[in-house]
Structure 1
Amino acid sequence: MKPNQIKILKFGFNYGLITGGIGILYTVLLIFTNKLYDQSLTKSLTGLVLLILPVILAIVNFKKQNNNDLSVGQAIGVGIVTALTAALITILFTLILTNFIVPDFWDKSAEYNSMLMKQQTPNITAEQLQNKIASQRKLAWITYPFILLFNLAIGFITSLIAGIALKTTEKM
């Protein structure tokens, strides 16, 4: 590996650890404020910002430490490694959360979703509601690959935009 590739991996990994740690702290805050099951737009946007900002900061700091030199490819590399590391930490923490910290997580989540469905669709029958909740429980495993794919997609888009905005133009 070239020194620059190692530098990209190091930056991405370190910022990914920070991003994953921030995500864990955010989840702990949600637990203590009884908002863990909340599906509000504010919660979703906050989580998104907590992923996007560290990716941008990683790219900006990479450029600073690289003699103010940055290519779009380097930005994407730093962003993808950051997002991948954060995703793996998030997946590991989610497994620990749902199996040990809050072992009845999926049951409580189903209750919350059931309540929301009743509010949104007042004329839903009990049988239809039970079928929807049962389907959701069967698909709980999809959470883990979704976290990975979502983080990678957001990391790629963010790093592409940041890379285009921050790239160093060649001097003539």
Structure 2
Amino acid sequence: MTENQPSVAENQPSVTSVALKYGLIGALISVVFTAVLLIAGIDVSGWIGSLGYLILIGAMVMAMKDYKKQNYGYMSYGQGLGLGTLVSLAFGVLGGLFMFVYTSFIDPDFRTNMMDKQRIELEERGMDDEQIEQAISMGESFSSPVMMFVWSIVGYLVIGFIISLVVSAIMKHNRPEFE
């Protein structure tokens, strides 16, 4: 052990504080990106909307780099997984809050427009009216502002956890056992 490196028993940086810092920064960038797409009338459910996941990955990588920097270059797989998952949670909460506000107050017709687009897509697939009505009614029950908030959190947690599995494996750097 060198003079510049503390023993394992000394305090490590907080996974939570690092994750929340980068999670909130990344989520704010993602919210601005989504707002620009919505204002421009670009379909956020298309491929361009999925570019927001690149912002999530970037926030995870930055959080893990910062954590490693604060922890003398070390980060276990579990610490990285925790960082990535908490960053994803921040994304889900902030993104969900934004969509709740947007669909409730800024553009209350958003849901109706989404259902109209879905109806057209289902008609193009050749579904009959009964099947379309059934699909639309099911979609409406899952697309209320409150449910969009809940699904945002759940979706980002699941996808973020999966992404974290990979990013953590790449970025981990375990502390030597006999230090």
Shorter-normalised TM range: 0.7 to 0.9
Select 2:45's aligned residue among 16, 22, 39.
39
> How many residues are matched?
166
- Greater RCO structure (CA 8 Å; 6+ sep): 1
- SS of 1:4 mapped into structure 2: coil
Select 1:131's aligned residue among 115, 122, 134.
134
Q: Which residue of 2 aligns with 1:26?
A: 33
Rg (Cα) greater in structure: 2
User: 1 CA distance for matches of 2:50 and 2:96?
Assistant: 19
Question: Where do residues 74-85 of structure 1 align in structure 2 (5 Å cutoff)?
Answer: 74-85=79-90
Question: Where do residues 44-59 of structure 1 align in structure 2 (5 Å cutoff)?
Answer: 44-59=49-64
Whether contact under 8 Å (1:56, 1:159) holds in the other structure is no
More helix per residue: 1
The C-alpha deviation readout for 1:131-170, integer Å capped at 9, x for no partner, is: 3212211222443333222211222222232222222242
Q: Which runs of 4+ in 1 moved over 4 A?
A: none
Select 1:167's aligned residue among 154, 169, 172.
172
Give the aligned residue type for 1:25.
Answer: V
Root mean square deviation, CA, Å: 2.2
2:5 pairs with 1:16: no
- Normalised TM-score (structure 2): 0.81
User: 1 CA distance for matches of 2:167 and 2:134?
Assistant: 44
2:71 pairs with 1:66: yes
User: 2 CA distance for matches of 1:53 and 1:155?
Assistant: 12
* Aligned residues with identical type, % of pairs: 24
Structure 1 residue 3: deviation in Å? 4.7
Structure 1: unaligned runs, 5 residues or longer: none
Whether contact under 8 Å (2:26, 2:56) holds in the other structure is yes
User: 1 CA distance for matches of 2:169 and 2:34?
Assistant: 32
Q: Which residue of 2 aligns with 1:152?
A: 157
- Normalised TM-score (structure 1): 0.84
